[in-house]
Structure 1
Amino acid sequence: MGEPLQVEVWSDVQCPWCWIGRRRLQEAVAATGEEIELVYRSFELAPDVPVDYDGTSVDFLADRKGMPRDQVRAMMARVTEIAAGDGLEYHLETARQTNTVLAHELLHLARERGVQEHLKERLFGAYFTENRHVGDVEELVSLAVESGLDAAEARAALADHRYLPAVRADVAQARAYGINGVPFTVVDGALGVSGAQSADVFAAALRQARAARAGATSVTAS
Protein backbone atom coordinates (compact mmCIF):
# COMPACT_ATOMS: atom_id res chain seq x y z
CA MET A 1 0.00 0.00 0.00
CA GLY A 2 3.03 2.28 0.25
CA GLU A 3 4.14 4.67 2.94
CA PRO A 4 1.61 5.48 5.69
CA LEU A 5 -0.58 8.53 5.20
CA GLN A 6 0.07 11.31 7.68
CA VAL A 7 -3.07 12.24 9.58
CA GLU A 8 -2.90 15.30 11.84
CA VAL A 9 -5.76 16.00 14.23
CA TRP A 10 -6.14 19.31 16.03
CA SER A 11 -8.13 18.72 19.18
CA ASP A 12 -8.52 19.47 22.87
CA VAL A 13 -8.93 16.86 25.60
CA GLN A 14 -12.02 18.69 26.92
CA CYS A 15 -13.73 18.70 23.51
CA PRO A 16 -16.54 16.09 23.54
CA TRP A 17 -16.68 15.90 19.75
CA CYS A 18 -12.94 15.18 19.60
CA TRP A 19 -13.22 11.79 21.29
CA ILE A 20 -16.19 10.95 19.08
CA GLY A 21 -14.15 12.00 16.04
CA ARG A 22 -11.26 9.80 17.18
CA ARG A 23 -13.53 6.76 17.33
CA ARG A 24 -14.94 7.45 13.87
CA LEU A 25 -11.47 7.94 12.39
CA GLN A 26 -10.40 4.63 13.93
CA GLU A 27 -13.43 2.98 12.34
CA ALA A 28 -12.50 4.46 8.97
CA VAL A 29 -8.93 3.21 9.25
CA ALA A 30 -10.17 -0.28 10.08
CA ALA A 31 -12.66 -0.23 7.19
CA THR A 32 -10.14 0.91 4.58
CA GLY A 33 -7.18 -1.08 5.84
CA GLU A 34 -5.17 2.10 5.38
CA GLU A 35 -1.89 2.58 7.20
CA ILE A 36 -1.63 5.99 8.84
CA GLU A 37 0.80 7.97 10.94
CA LEU A 38 -1.47 9.73 13.40
CA VAL A 39 -0.29 12.93 15.07
CA TYR A 40 -2.33 14.89 17.59
CA ARG A 41 -1.88 18.65 17.42
CA SER A 42 -2.69 21.10 20.19
CA PHE A 43 -5.75 23.35 20.22
CA GLU A 44 -6.97 25.09 23.37
CA LEU A 45 -10.70 25.72 23.37
CA ALA A 46 -10.52 27.92 26.47
CA PRO A 47 -6.91 29.02 27.14
CA ASP A 48 -8.07 31.70 29.58
CA VAL A 49 -9.71 29.26 32.02
CA PRO A 50 -7.85 28.81 35.32
CA VAL A 51 -6.50 25.39 36.27
CA ASP A 52 -8.80 25.25 39.27
CA TYR A 53 -12.00 26.63 37.77
CA ASP A 54 -14.52 27.49 40.47
CA GLY A 55 -17.76 26.11 39.07
CA THR A 56 -19.34 23.22 37.23
CA SER A 57 -19.05 22.46 33.54
CA VAL A 58 -22.67 23.62 33.23
CA ASP A 59 -21.71 26.94 34.83
CA PHE A 60 -18.77 27.27 32.47
CA LEU A 61 -20.75 26.73 29.27
CA ALA A 62 -23.69 28.81 30.43
CA ASP A 63 -21.42 31.72 31.28
CA ARG A 64 -19.16 31.33 28.23
CA LYS A 65 -21.93 30.95 25.66
CA GLY A 66 -24.61 32.98 27.40
CA MET A 67 -27.00 30.03 27.31
CA PRO A 68 -29.69 29.11 29.88
CA ARG A 69 -28.53 26.26 32.10
CA ASP A 70 -31.42 24.03 31.07
CA GLN A 71 -30.37 24.46 27.45
CA VAL A 72 -26.78 23.57 28.35
CA ARG A 73 -27.94 20.42 30.14
CA ALA A 74 -30.06 19.43 27.14
CA MET A 75 -27.08 19.95 24.84
CA MET A 76 -24.91 17.82 27.11
CA ALA A 77 -27.52 15.07 27.18
CA ARG A 78 -27.63 15.03 23.38
CA VAL A 79 -23.84 14.81 23.03
CA THR A 80 -23.77 12.07 25.67
CA GLU A 81 -26.33 10.09 23.67
CA ILE A 82 -24.32 10.49 20.47
CA ALA A 83 -21.11 9.47 22.24
CA ALA A 84 -22.81 6.36 23.60
CA GLY A 85 -23.63 5.40 20.02
CA ASP A 86 -19.89 5.37 19.37
CA GLY A 87 -19.21 3.26 22.45
CA LEU A 88 -18.10 6.14 24.71
CA GLU A 89 -19.26 6.91 28.24
CA TYR A 90 -19.64 10.60 29.06
CA HIS A 91 -20.44 12.32 32.37
CA LEU A 92 -20.44 15.90 31.16
CA GLU A 93 -22.30 17.61 33.98
CA THR A 94 -19.72 16.47 36.51
CA ALA A 95 -16.65 16.95 34.31
CA ARG A 96 -13.89 19.06 35.89
CA GLN A 97 -13.37 22.18 33.76
CA THR A 98 -9.73 23.26 33.71
CA ASN A 99 -6.92 24.73 31.66
CA THR A 100 -5.51 22.08 29.30
CA VAL A 101 -2.16 23.56 28.27
CA LEU A 102 -0.21 21.14 30.51
CA ALA A 103 -2.07 18.19 29.00
CA HIS A 104 -1.03 19.41 25.55
CA GLU A 105 2.58 19.79 26.67
CA LEU A 106 2.52 16.24 27.98
CA LEU A 107 1.11 14.96 24.68
CA HIS A 108 4.16 16.35 22.89
CA LEU A 109 6.44 14.40 25.23
CA ALA A 110 4.31 11.33 24.61
CA ARG A 111 4.72 11.76 20.87
CA GLU A 112 8.51 11.81 21.22
CA ARG A 113 8.33 8.61 23.26
CA GLY A 114 5.96 6.87 20.85
CA VAL A 115 2.93 6.71 23.16
CA GLN A 116 0.93 9.77 22.14
CA GLU A 117 -2.13 7.81 21.06
CA HIS A 118 -2.15 5.89 24.35
CA LEU A 119 -2.00 9.11 26.36
CA LYS A 120 -4.61 10.86 24.22
CA GLU A 121 -7.07 8.02 24.76
CA ARG A 122 -6.28 7.94 28.46
CA LEU A 123 -6.82 11.69 28.82
CA PHE A 124 -10.18 11.50 27.07
CA GLY A 125 -11.33 8.67 29.34
CA ALA A 126 -10.00 10.41 32.45
CA TYR A 127 -11.85 13.62 31.64
CA PHE A 128 -15.15 12.46 30.19
CA THR A 129 -15.73 9.13 31.93
CA GLU A 130 -13.85 9.43 35.22
CA ASN A 131 -14.08 13.23 35.63
CA ARG A 132 -10.46 13.48 36.75
CA HIS A 133 -8.63 16.81 36.98
CA VAL A 134 -6.60 16.84 33.74
CA GLY A 135 -5.09 20.22 34.56
CA ASP A 136 -3.46 19.02 37.77
CA VAL A 137 0.24 18.10 37.55
CA GLU A 138 0.06 15.01 39.76
CA GLU A 139 -3.03 13.70 37.97
CA LEU A 140 -1.28 14.21 34.65
CA VAL A 141 1.85 12.42 35.84
CA SER A 142 -0.30 9.51 36.99
CA LEU A 143 -2.01 9.31 33.60
CA ALA A 144 1.37 9.61 31.88
CA VAL A 145 2.70 6.60 33.80
CA GLU A 146 -0.42 4.60 32.90
CA SER A 147 0.34 5.45 29.26
CA GLY A 148 3.94 4.26 29.38
CA LEU A 149 5.86 7.43 30.26
CA ASP A 150 8.42 7.83 33.01
CA ALA A 151 7.04 9.72 36.01
CA ALA A 152 10.19 11.74 36.68
CA GLU A 153 10.54 12.78 33.05
CA ALA A 154 6.86 13.73 32.78
CA ARG A 155 7.00 15.79 35.99
CA ALA A 156 10.18 17.56 34.87
CA ALA A 157 8.70 18.37 31.45
CA LEU A 158 5.61 19.87 33.04
CA ALA A 159 7.75 21.87 35.48
CA ASP A 160 10.05 23.49 32.93
CA HIS A 161 7.47 23.74 30.11
CA ARG A 162 9.94 22.47 27.52
CA TYR A 163 7.09 21.56 25.18
CA LEU A 164 5.17 24.83 25.45
CA PRO A 165 6.79 26.21 22.25
CA ALA A 166 5.54 23.10 20.41
CA VAL A 167 2.03 23.69 21.73
CA ARG A 168 2.18 27.31 20.59
CA ALA A 169 3.45 26.20 17.17
CA ASP A 170 0.47 23.87 16.76
CA VAL A 171 -1.92 26.68 17.68
CA ALA A 172 -0.21 29.00 15.20
CA GLN A 173 -0.47 26.38 12.45
CA ALA A 174 -4.16 25.96 13.19
CA ARG A 175 -4.57 29.71 12.83
CA ALA A 176 -2.69 29.63 9.52
CA TYR A 177 -5.01 26.89 8.26
CA GLY A 178 -8.04 28.91 9.36
CA ILE A 179 -9.06 26.34 11.97
CA ASN A 180 -11.40 27.88 14.53
CA GLY A 181 -13.02 24.75 15.92
CA VAL A 182 -12.07 21.18 16.67
CA PRO A 183 -11.73 18.39 15.88
CA PHE A 184 -10.08 19.30 12.60
CA THR A 185 -8.28 16.59 10.66
CA VAL A 186 -5.70 17.13 7.93
CA VAL A 187 -4.84 14.11 5.80
CA ASP A 188 -1.45 14.11 4.08
CA GLY A 189 -1.20 17.88 4.40
CA ALA A 190 -3.86 18.40 1.75
CA LEU A 191 -7.32 17.14 2.69
CA GLY A 192 -9.21 18.83 5.51
CA VAL A 193 -12.07 17.24 7.44
CA SER A 194 -13.84 19.59 9.84
CA GLY A 195 -15.68 18.16 12.84
CA ALA A 196 -16.51 14.66 14.05
CA GLN A 197 -17.68 13.46 10.66
CA SER A 198 -18.95 9.96 9.99
CA ALA A 199 -16.55 7.08 9.46
CA ASP A 200 -17.58 7.11 5.80
CA VAL A 201 -16.39 10.70 5.39
CA PHE A 202 -13.07 9.91 7.03
CA ALA A 203 -12.70 6.79 4.89
CA ALA A 204 -13.33 8.84 1.74
CA ALA A 205 -10.64 11.32 2.78
CA LEU A 206 -8.15 8.51 3.32
CA ARG A 207 -8.92 7.00 -0.07
CA GLN A 208 -8.65 10.38 -1.77
CA ALA A 209 -5.31 11.05 -0.15
CA ARG A 210 -3.99 7.67 -1.24
CA ALA A 211 -5.25 8.30 -4.79
CA ALA A 212 -3.61 11.73 -4.79
CA ARG A 213 -0.30 10.11 -3.92
CA ALA A 214 -0.75 7.86 -6.91
CA GLY A 215 -1.18 10.90 -9.14
CA ALA A 216 -4.96 11.20 -9.13
CA THR A 217 -6.75 14.51 -8.77
CA SER A 218 -7.08 15.61 -5.13
CA VAL A 219 -10.53 16.46 -3.85
CA THR A 220 -10.93 18.11 -0.47
CA ALA A 221 -13.31 16.49 2.02
CA SER A 222 -15.54 18.76 4.07
Structure 2
Amino acid sequence: MKVEIWSDIMCPWCYIGKRRFEAAMEQFPDAGSVEIEWHSFQLDPTIESGHGDNLYTYLSKRKGIPYEQAEQMNNQVTGLAATLGLTYNMEQAVVANSFDAHRLIQLAKKHQLGDAAEERLFKAYFTEGKDFSNPDTLVALGKEIGLEESVLKNLVGSQSFTTEVRRDIDEAETLGIRGVPFFVFDRKYGVSGAQASETFLEVLTKSVGEWKSTQPSDLEIIEGQTCGPDGDC
Protein backbone atom coordinates (compact mmCIF):
# COMPACT_ATOMS: atom_id res chain seq x y z
CA MET A 1 0.00 0.00 0.00
CA LYS A 2 1.36 3.40 -0.94
CA VAL A 3 1.67 6.45 1.28
CA GLU A 4 2.41 9.63 -0.69
CA ILE A 5 3.86 12.66 1.06
CA TRP A 6 3.80 16.17 -0.37
CA SER A 7 6.54 18.27 1.21
CA ASP A 8 8.81 21.28 0.79
CA ILE A 9 12.31 21.05 2.25
CA MET A 10 12.16 24.61 3.61
CA CYS A 11 9.04 23.73 5.64
CA PRO A 12 9.86 23.23 9.34
CA TRP A 13 6.66 21.25 9.94
CA CYS A 14 7.53 18.86 7.11
CA TYR A 15 10.72 17.71 8.87
CA ILE A 16 8.77 17.32 12.12
CA GLY A 17 6.02 15.45 10.27
CA LYS A 18 8.61 13.12 8.75
CA ARG A 19 9.92 12.21 12.19
CA ARG A 20 6.45 11.65 13.63
CA PHE A 21 5.42 9.49 10.68
CA GLU A 22 8.63 7.47 11.02
CA ALA A 23 7.86 6.94 14.71
CA ALA A 24 4.44 5.60 13.73
CA MET A 25 6.01 3.27 11.16
CA GLU A 26 8.38 1.91 13.81
CA GLN A 27 5.34 0.95 15.91
CA PHE A 28 3.32 -0.42 12.98
CA PRO A 29 3.62 -4.22 12.80
CA ASP A 30 2.81 -4.31 9.07
CA ALA A 31 5.26 -1.60 7.99
CA GLY A 32 6.67 -3.97 5.35
CA SER A 33 3.43 -3.61 3.41
CA VAL A 34 3.87 0.16 3.07
CA GLU A 35 5.57 1.93 0.17
CA ILE A 36 6.44 5.60 0.67
CA GLU A 37 6.68 8.11 -2.17
CA TRP A 38 7.71 11.74 -1.73
CA HIS A 39 6.17 14.47 -3.88
CA SER A 40 7.34 18.01 -4.57
CA PHE A 41 5.58 21.12 -3.28
CA GLN A 42 6.75 24.73 -3.15
CA LEU A 43 5.54 27.00 -0.37
CA ASP A 44 6.87 30.04 -2.22
CA PRO A 45 7.83 29.51 -5.86
CA THR A 46 8.51 33.25 -6.24
CA ILE A 47 11.62 33.34 -4.02
CA GLU A 48 14.65 34.76 -5.78
CA SER A 49 17.81 33.04 -4.62
CA GLY A 50 20.65 35.27 -3.42
CA HIS A 51 18.43 38.11 -2.17
CA GLY A 52 20.38 38.29 1.11
CA ASP A 53 17.45 38.34 3.56
CA ASN A 54 17.72 36.07 6.56
CA LEU A 55 14.77 33.83 7.42
CA TYR A 56 13.22 36.23 9.92
CA THR A 57 13.39 39.20 7.53
CA TYR A 58 11.94 37.08 4.74
CA LEU A 59 9.01 35.90 6.89
CA SER A 60 8.43 39.39 8.21
CA LYS A 61 8.08 40.74 4.66
CA ARG A 62 6.08 37.79 3.32
CA LYS A 63 3.61 37.56 6.21
CA GLY A 64 3.49 41.24 7.01
CA ILE A 65 4.47 40.70 10.65
CA PRO A 66 7.13 42.31 12.87
CA TYR A 67 10.62 40.80 12.73
CA GLU A 68 10.39 39.89 16.42
CA GLN A 69 7.17 37.95 15.85
CA ALA A 70 8.75 35.96 13.03
CA GLU A 71 11.68 35.17 15.32
CA GLN A 72 9.37 34.09 18.14
CA MET A 73 7.34 31.82 15.84
CA ASN A 74 10.49 30.04 14.75
CA ASN A 75 11.80 29.74 18.29
CA GLN A 76 8.64 27.85 19.19
CA VAL A 77 8.95 25.38 16.31
CA THR A 78 12.67 25.02 17.03
CA GLY A 79 11.86 23.94 20.57
CA LEU A 80 9.32 21.41 19.35
CA ALA A 81 11.76 20.01 16.79
CA ALA A 82 14.33 19.52 19.54
CA THR A 83 11.97 17.15 21.38
CA LEU A 84 12.19 14.89 18.31
CA GLY A 85 15.97 15.00 18.13
CA LEU A 86 16.07 17.62 15.36
CA THR A 87 18.38 20.64 15.50
CA TYR A 88 17.00 23.78 13.88
CA ASN A 89 19.49 26.64 13.44
CA MET A 90 17.00 29.04 11.93
CA GLU A 91 19.33 32.03 12.16
CA GLN A 92 21.68 30.24 9.73
CA ALA A 93 19.01 29.17 7.20
CA VAL A 94 19.67 30.38 3.66
CA VAL A 95 16.35 31.39 2.12
CA ALA A 96 16.43 30.26 -1.50
CA ASN A 97 14.15 28.90 -4.20
CA SER A 98 13.71 25.16 -3.61
CA PHE A 99 12.87 24.17 -7.20
CA ASP A 100 16.31 22.79 -8.10
CA ALA A 101 16.47 20.87 -4.82
CA HIS A 102 13.16 19.27 -5.76
CA ARG A 103 14.69 18.26 -9.09
CA LEU A 104 17.41 16.50 -7.09
CA ILE A 105 14.75 14.67 -5.08
CA GLN A 106 13.04 13.56 -8.28
CA LEU A 107 16.36 12.22 -9.58
CA ALA A 108 16.94 10.43 -6.27
CA LYS A 109 13.50 8.81 -6.50
CA LYS A 110 14.56 7.14 -9.75
CA HIS A 111 17.34 5.45 -7.78
CA GLN A 112 15.14 4.51 -4.78
CA LEU A 113 16.78 7.27 -2.74
CA GLY A 114 13.86 9.66 -2.39
CA ASP A 115 13.66 9.37 1.39
CA ALA A 116 17.43 9.76 1.74
CA ALA A 117 17.33 12.91 -0.39
CA GLU A 118 14.53 14.43 1.69
CA GLU A 119 16.37 13.67 4.93
CA ARG A 120 19.69 15.06 3.70
CA LEU A 121 18.15 18.25 2.30
CA PHE A 122 16.13 18.89 5.46
CA LYS A 123 19.28 18.65 7.56
CA ALA A 124 21.24 20.77 5.10
CA TYR A 125 18.68 23.57 5.31
CA PHE A 126 17.57 23.54 8.94
CA THR A 127 20.74 22.41 10.71
CA GLU A 128 23.71 23.23 8.51
CA GLY A 129 22.65 26.46 6.82
CA LYS A 130 23.49 25.21 3.34
CA ASP A 131 22.31 27.02 0.21
CA PHE A 132 20.38 24.46 -1.82
CA SER A 133 20.16 26.84 -4.79
CA ASN A 134 23.94 26.45 -5.24
CA PRO A 135 24.68 23.76 -7.88
CA ASP A 136 27.89 22.68 -6.15
CA THR A 137 25.98 22.17 -2.90
CA LEU A 138 23.39 20.01 -4.63
CA VAL A 139 26.10 17.89 -6.26
CA ALA A 140 27.83 17.39 -2.91
CA LEU A 141 24.60 16.46 -1.12
CA GLY A 142 23.61 14.09 -3.91
CA LYS A 143 26.99 12.33 -3.72
CA GLU A 144 26.53 11.89 0.04
CA ILE A 145 23.37 9.84 -0.49
CA GLY A 146 24.95 7.65 -3.16
CA LEU A 147 24.25 9.33 -6.50
CA GLU A 148 27.01 9.47 -9.10
CA GLU A 149 28.81 12.79 -9.59
CA SER A 150 28.45 12.70 -13.38
CA VAL A 151 24.69 12.20 -13.11
CA LEU A 152 24.43 15.04 -10.59
CA LYS A 153 26.47 17.43 -12.73
CA ASN A 154 24.21 16.64 -15.65
CA LEU A 155 21.21 17.44 -13.45
CA VAL A 156 22.40 20.86 -12.28
CA GLY A 157 23.56 21.77 -15.78
CA SER A 158 20.16 21.07 -17.31
CA GLN A 159 16.44 21.32 -16.69
CA SER A 160 16.03 17.58 -16.10
CA PHE A 161 13.10 16.56 -13.87
CA THR A 162 11.44 19.96 -14.22
CA THR A 163 8.36 18.24 -15.63
CA GLU A 164 8.20 15.83 -12.68
CA VAL A 165 8.38 18.64 -10.12
CA ARG A 166 5.67 20.64 -11.83
CA ARG A 167 3.51 17.52 -12.22
CA ASP A 168 3.65 16.95 -8.46
CA ILE A 169 2.74 20.56 -7.76
CA ASP A 170 -0.16 20.44 -10.22
CA GLU A 171 -1.40 17.17 -8.72
CA ALA A 172 -1.34 18.71 -5.25
CA GLU A 173 -3.63 21.46 -6.52
CA THR A 174 -5.94 18.88 -8.09
CA LEU A 175 -6.16 17.02 -4.78
CA GLY A 176 -6.93 20.23 -2.93
CA ILE A 177 -3.62 20.33 -1.04
CA ARG A 178 -3.00 23.88 0.17
CA GLY A 179 -0.28 23.25 2.74
CA VAL A 180 2.37 20.73 3.65
CA PRO A 181 3.19 18.24 4.93
CA PHE A 182 0.27 16.34 3.45
CA PHE A 183 0.04 12.56 3.61
CA VAL A 184 -2.17 10.52 1.26
CA PHE A 185 -2.88 6.90 2.19
CA ASP A 186 -3.79 4.59 -0.70
CA ARG A 187 -5.52 7.54 -2.41
CA LYS A 188 -8.34 7.10 0.12
CA TYR A 189 -7.33 9.09 3.20
CA GLY A 190 -5.55 12.40 3.54
CA VAL A 191 -3.77 13.64 6.66
CA SER A 192 -2.79 17.31 6.73
CA GLY A 193 0.03 18.56 8.89
CA ALA A 194 2.61 17.14 11.28
CA GLN A 195 0.10 15.12 13.25
CA ALA A 196 0.93 13.10 16.35
CA SER A 197 2.44 9.68 15.71
CA GLU A 198 -0.69 8.12 17.21
CA THR A 199 -2.80 9.70 14.46
CA PHE A 200 -0.51 8.36 11.74
CA LEU A 201 -0.55 4.92 13.36
CA GLU A 202 -4.34 4.91 13.44
CA VAL A 203 -4.62 5.83 9.75
CA LEU A 204 -1.92 3.30 8.81
CA THR A 205 -3.80 0.54 10.61
CA LYS A 206 -7.09 1.44 8.96
CA SER A 207 -5.79 1.99 5.43
CA VAL A 208 -3.50 -1.07 5.32
CA GLY A 209 -6.30 -3.23 6.72
CA GLU A 210 -8.68 -2.05 4.01
CA TRP A 211 -6.01 -2.42 1.33
CA LYS A 212 -5.28 -6.00 2.40
CA SER A 213 -8.96 -6.88 2.22
CA THR A 214 -8.88 -6.09 -1.51
CA GLN A 215 -5.80 -8.22 -2.26
CA PRO A 216 -6.04 -11.83 -3.51
CA SER A 217 -5.64 -14.25 -0.62
CA ASP A 218 -6.43 -17.88 -1.47
CA LEU A 219 -4.99 -19.19 -4.72
CA GLU A 220 -6.82 -21.75 -6.80
CA ILE A 221 -4.07 -24.35 -7.34
CA ILE A 222 -3.85 -26.77 -10.26
CA GLU A 223 -1.66 -29.63 -9.01
CA GLY A 224 1.30 -30.99 -10.99
CA GLN A 225 4.73 -32.56 -10.55
CA THR A 226 6.89 -30.67 -8.03
CA CYS A 227 9.91 -31.07 -5.76
CA GLY A 228 9.65 -30.24 -2.06
CA PRO A 229 12.24 -29.16 0.52
CA ASP A 230 12.24 -32.67 2.06
CA GLY A 231 13.65 -34.12 -1.16
CA ASP A 232 10.34 -35.56 -2.38
CA CYS A 233 10.01 -35.26 -6.16
TM-score normalized by structure 1? 0.93
Match of residue 224 from structure 2: none
Match of residue 7 from structure 1: 3
Work out whether residues 92 and 128 of structure 2, in 8 Å CA contact, stay in contact via their aligned partners in 1: no
Distance in 2 of aligned mates of 1:12 and 1:93? 19
Compute the displacement of 1:215 (Å). 3.9
Match of residue 21 from structure 1: 17
* Deviations 1:108-144, CA, capped at 9 Å, x for gaps: 1100011111111110111100011011111010000
Work out whether residues 183 and 192 of structure 2, in 8 Å CA contact, stay in contact via their aligned partners in 1: yes
Alignment-mate amino acid for residue 129 of structure 1: T
Distance in 1 of aligned mates of 2:66 and 2:40? 30
SS in 1 for 2:123: helix
- Range with greater deviation from structure 2 (27-36 or 134-143): 27-36
Q: Point out the structure with max Rg over C-alpha.
A: 2
Distance in 2 of aligned mates of 1:213 and 1:122? 31
Compute the displacement of 1:152 (Å). 1.3
Match of residue 70 from structure 2: 72
How much is the aligned-residue C-alpha RMSD, in angstroms?
A: 1.1
Q: Where does the alignment leave 5 or more consecutive residues of structure 2 unmatched? A: 215-233
SS in 2 for 1:181: coil
Compute the displacement of 1:182 (Å). 0.4
Q: Where does the alignment leave 5 or more consecutive residues of structure 1 unmatched? A: 217-222
* Deviations 1:143-191, CA, capped at 9 Å, x for gaps: 0000100111012122221200000000010000111100001011111
1:143-222 to structure 2, matched below 5 A, reads 143-215=141-213
Q: Indicate yes or no: 2:120 matched with 1:110.
A: no
Alignment-mate amino acid for residue 43 of structure 1: F
Alignment-mate amino acid for residue 206 of structure 2: Q
Identity rate of aligned residues, in percent?
36
SS in 2 for 1:160: coil
* Deviations 1:71-113, CA, capped at 9 Å, x for gaps: 1111010000000011100011221000000000010110001
Distance in 2 of aligned mates of 1:215 and 1:110? 32
Alignment-mate amino acid for residue 146 of structure 1: E
Work out whether residues 76 and 93 of structure 1, in 8 Å CA contact, stay in contact via their aligned partners in 2: no
